[in-house]
Structure formats: structure tokens, C-alpha cells
Structure 1
Amino acid sequence: MLLQISSIVTYAKNVTVDYIDLDFTLWLTWMLTPLIITFLLPLIIVLLLYLSVLILYIYKLHRHRLRHAYETDFWDGARKTVAAVWDAHGWIWHGYEVSGMENIPDDTPALIVYYHGAIPIDLYYFISKSILFKNRLIHTVADRFLFKIPGWLIISEAMKVIPGTVQICSNILKQNNLLAISPGGVYEAQFGDAYYRLMWKKRLGFAKVALDAKVPVIPIFTQNLREAFCSVSFGRRLWLKLYTITRFPIVPIYGGFPVKLRTHVGKPIPYNGSLTPEQLQIKVAQALEELIEEHQRIPGSIMRALVERVYALPKKKSK
């Protein structure tokens, strides 16, 4: 028996040496590893989302046993558990920080307007910070396609994610809540680039919501967001045409790089009933562009963002 096993091992060794160039194989593996890792890292976010789904489902099944621990909202404990997971991920992988968190009100409503990255990973981290350190849940407006993804419904139920109309969003704010909207949405996520230009087109919905609810607007921007996850830039015309037809985000995304992420919360723009939606849109866009200009080096660089993970570079930006 041992002799047979020895013969098999010897034969396998001879085949390997004779027919496979080990040096070439090792070189090919070394060369392709960065490419493989680059496209696999986004799966970490998917896995984390489904870990959140698992936690929420487990919590929902046992809510009757846990209800006594909470006064009115049995999701509160689950939210904080999920928020703790995301906060830990943000701290470990991106050294995530928030600057200007004091601009988020403690007990009054506000509309938060943010720049949309290829994956809004920063929003997940920011919401987690708000839940853990401000004890406030930020309701979120998301594209309708998300609600067709398996597992998403329970996340939307627990974390108050909605495909909101103007009236629904306005009612949420009138109930003294925080609400986050990205006017650029999926379009900005897919076709934005390292120059961080706002891609809002003529969308005025968020401005109509703020004026109807009579709430301040708070712009937020996350430094190096486009360097954490990137959309494939080649074949842009084809992707744009397919998106126009399907309204589905099909542009490939790569990344998951451990770059420094820091969310900057701007000063609230007070409610002004004399402004039109068009005027308010311009005012908010200018405030967000000022945050980008102040805190983001243009064009963004993955290597520079990785350096910023361990060393704070001067704020001066290249022209």
C-alpha cells in the first residue's frame, strides 16, 4: 500500500516538473493577484451586508423575548448591533473618521445631502456613527432597484430605507427625523470619477422636500471615496446607453482599497422660504462643491489616498 502511494506521488511530481513551468506559474500568479484582489474586495461589502441581514433576521425571530428591553422600537437593539459591526469595519479597514459631527442636530429634523460614491460605503459608516454616538437613525432614500435584491427588504425595514417620493420624504422630516438623499443617485455612482464633479442634472426633488418640510439642509462629503471603490471607465458610452435603457446599475465596480476615509459635515443651510427649488439646489451644490474643494485633492489618487491612511498630507491640491 505504501509502495503504491509512493509511486503515485512520484508520478505526480514527474508530471508537474515535465509539463508545468513552475516559475511561469508563480510569476503569473504574482502578476494576477492584484487584479483578482481588486475585483474580489467589493464582495467583502456584499458579505457584510448579508451578515447584517442575518443579524436582523435572527433579531426579528427573537423580538418577543427582547421586546421588554426596549420601549417602543424593537429594532433599536438590532440597529445598534449592526451599526457596531459597520463602525468596526470602517475603523479597521479605512481608519474612518467624521469631522463636523456637531453640525448634525441632536433632536431636530434636517435633510442631509451627500455625494454618491461608486458604493456608498461612507454612508453606511456615517449612519452607524450617528446611531452609536448621536443615538439618531438617519432615514435614507435609495433607488428602487435595491428593493428587488434578496435580503434588502429587512434592511430597509430596520434601517428605514425608502424609495421616497417628495411627499413621503417631507412627512419623514416633519416627524422630526433625519433624512439622507443623494441627488446624483445611481447615475453619479456609476459615472462619477476622480474629479468628483456633481452629476445632479436638473434634479430638484431634494430641494422641494427641504422647502416643504421647512428644514435645514446639511451637505456632507467623504474624502477619498472614489479611491475606495471605482467604476470601470472604459466603454463609458456603452455603459451609459445600457443604463439609459435598463435604469439598472451595470457598470463593473472594483476596489475595496484600504484608503483613508473621512466624512466632512458642512454647516447647515437654514430654511429660507423665499428660495425657489432651483435656487436652493444651486446653493446646496455650491456648499457641497466647497467641501470637495477644501478637503479633496483633485484628481483623486489611490496611491495618495493609501498614504493618507497612515500619514496626513497637506491640504494643498493640484491644479
Structure 2
Amino acid sequence: MLKQKDIIFLSIIMYLVQNFFILLGIFIIVYIDIDYSLWLTWVLGPLIITFLLPAVIALLLYLSAFLLYIYKLHWTNIKTTLRTGDKWEAARKSVGALWDAHGWIWHGYEVKGLENIPDTGPALIIYYHGAIPVDIYYFLVKIIFNKNRLVHTVADHFLFKVPGFSIIADCMKVIPGTVQTCANVLKEGNLLAISPGGVYEAQFSHNYNLMWKRRLGFAKVALEAKVPIIPMFTENLREAFRTVSFGKRLFLRIYALFKLPLAPVYGGFPVKMVTHLGKPIPYDKNLTPEELQCKVATAIEDLINDHQRIPGNILYALFERIPIFRKYKENSN
């Protein structure tokens, strides 16, 4: 039979054991959960950010539309201060300053081969399409400020259904683009930029491979308008923004059915971006559209091979923001 002091001793032991498990439970609930939450934050945080950063580009587009709407509403008050017939000229330069600053700060954006863009007269610019074509936004601004010229561009039809895009298209001369309308733009002495791969290339080209299929429209436009073609490629474009590599068959099927780019885009990485402009390919009446397409594709692939690390690497592209790394790469090329 237990003595009173033994009962007291056992009670104390049981009390300590009970409280030990209670304290252990509190520790697990409070500290382990906090650590687990912190772990999740550290692991998933960068992943979430990479999918949210592309929204910055959409935000800039809507900010551009907002500024243009303000400009349009106040046009009657400020038109007397302008001496040109183009009501959008001052607005383009105002919005352009926004994009030029973003390109310089976030990507150290540069254009090489600017001398290949004529000061006057028409030319067709053919470029590789990134997951988000931020390079063409920056490039248009560079041409406005350095050449005092506006580059007309061709965009996919679905963009014209996006709210707010119409005023940007009106200001920046963005058109859906048929062979005849594009040829007419060039015959009027303008610059015109086309990406033959378009949205299809943007969504499904993962290693800087051209995805033009049998698209000959741009070649027919150049032959119809009798203009030179300037090849264009932007270095590290796919290191800035990428489309996911999983679910490719599903997104291909959706695109084939509805022509909608639904493959998720992630990124917004501040990598070094340089647009390279190749030598103009002169008009040659003896070339067929198929031959001209092949010639232009080869010129762009040469720019890719000369200036792009393949496979692309985000870390290396970030290091290229540092002048010494950039200089080393240029010397090695």
C-alpha cells in the first residue's frame, strides 16, 4: 500500500509529465508553425513574385493608357501649344519617357546597330517575339528619341479586345495588319515592325528557336512595298520573362482552338537586355516569298548565335548587368 509521501511524489511526477506535454504542444503549435510559415514564405515567396512581376508590364500599359486618356481629354486646351498636325506627338514622348526610364533602370537596356535604321524612307523590321515583348516597347521609344521617327507595329488580333489597348494602338500606330495594309504603311514612307512568330512564338519558344511555320505574310509585304528588311533580336529576352514549360500540350491545344495565349508567364528579372539590329537585307525582285523568309530567318538566327547564351541562364544574364562581366562576354564573342 502506497504511503502518503509516495502518493504526493507520484502526483508531482504526473503533474510535471502532464505539463511537459502541454508545454511541448504549445511549443510545437507556436514555434514549429511559425518556423514552418517562415519556411513556406522563404520558399514560395520568390516563386510567387516571379508570377506577379509580369503584372508590372500590364500595369505600365494601363498607366500609359491612363496618361493618354488624360492627354486626349485636355487636347483642346493644349493644342495651341503644338506646332505639328499630330495630336499624339507630345503624348508619345511623355509616355515614352516612362518606358525609357523603366528599360534603363530595370534592364540596362541598349540598342546596337541603330545606324541600320534609316533616317528617312521605309523599312520593315522583323524581330524575334519574347514571352512578353518588352523589348519592342523599349525599342520604339529609342527610335522616337534617337531618330525622331515612329515605328508602326503589327499586333495580334486578341490585343485589340483588351480594354485600354485601343488608345495605345491609336497613339503608337499599332495595327492588326493584313498584307495590303502593311504594304500601304510602308509605301507611305514609314517604318514597320512585325514578328512573324507572333503569340505562338511568344508562348511556345523556350530556347530562342524561331517558330514561324509557313508564315510568309511579312515577306509578301516587303516584296509588295519593295523595301529592305532589318533583322532584330534582343539578347536575354527570355531570361527576363518566361512561359512555364509544363502543360505544353494542353496550352497548345487551347491556342489551336481559341487562339488565346493562356500559358502562364513568370519572371520580371532585371537581366541585361541589348537589342541587336542586323544589316538591312535589300529588296530583290528575283526572290520568292519563301526564299526571302528563309534569308531573314537565317539573319535573325545568326544574331541569336552571335549574341545569346544558349541555353539561356537567368543568373548569367543578371551578372551581365555588371560591366566587367559584360565586357568579358563581349570579348569572348
Band of TM-score, shorter chain:
over 0.9
For residues 196 and 81 of structure 1, what CA distance do their matches in structure 2 show?
Answer: 33
User: Of residues 240, 251, 254 in structure 2, which corresponds to 1:242?
Assistant: 254
Q: CA RMSD of the aligned region, Å?
A: 1.5
1:314 maps to a residue whose letter is K
TM-score w.r.t. the length of structure 2 is: 0.88
- 2:4 corresponds to: none
> CA separation in 1, counterparts of 2:146 and 2:78?
22
Corresponding residue of 1:85: 98
CA offsets, 1:185-224, max 9 Å, x none? Answer: 000000001x211100000000000000000000000000
Shift of 1:18: 7.8
Structure 1 residue matching 2:42: 3-state secondary structure: helix
Q: 1:107 to 1:24 in 2, by over 3 A?
A: same
Matches within 5 A, 1:71-220: 71-193=84-206, 195-220=207-232
Selected match of 1:295 from 307, 316, 319: 307
Larger Rg: 2
SS at 2:213 equivalent: coil
Q: Which residues of structure 2 form unaligned runs of 5+?
A: 1-25
17, 24, 29: which one aligns with 2:41? 29
Helix, strand or coil at the partner of 2:279: coil
In structure 2, how many angstroms separate the alpha carbons of the residues matched to 1:36 and 1:76? 38
Change (3 A) 1:22 1:170: same
Q: Report 1:200-279 matches (<5 A).
A: 200-279=212-291
Q: Separation in 1 of the partners of 2:179 and 2:27?
A: 68
Aligned residues: 302
- Three-state SS of the structure 2 residue aligned to 1:113 is strand
- Listed one character per residue, the Cα deviations across residues 97-138 of structure 1 (whole Å, up to 9, x for unaligned) are 000111101111100000000000000000010111111111
Percent identical pairs in the alignment equals 65
Q: Is the 8 A contact 1:66 1:74 kept in 2?
A: no
Residues 151-193 of structure 1, C-alpha deviations (whole Å, 9 max, x = no match): 0000000000000100000000001100000000000000001
Specify whether residues 28 and 181 from structure 1 end up closer, same or farther in structure 2 by C-alpha distance, changes over 3 A only: same
Supply the AA of the counterpart residue of 2:59.
Answer: L
- 2:76 aligned to which of 44, 64, 67: 64
Which ranges in structure 1 are unaligned for 5 or more consecutive residues? 1-15
Does 2:329 correspond to 1:314? yes
What amino acid sits opposite 1:46 in the alignment? A
Deviates most, 212-221 or 25-34 = 25-34
Determine the C-alpha separation between the residues in 1 that align with 2:83 and 2:255. Answer: 44
Counterpart residue number, 1:304: 316
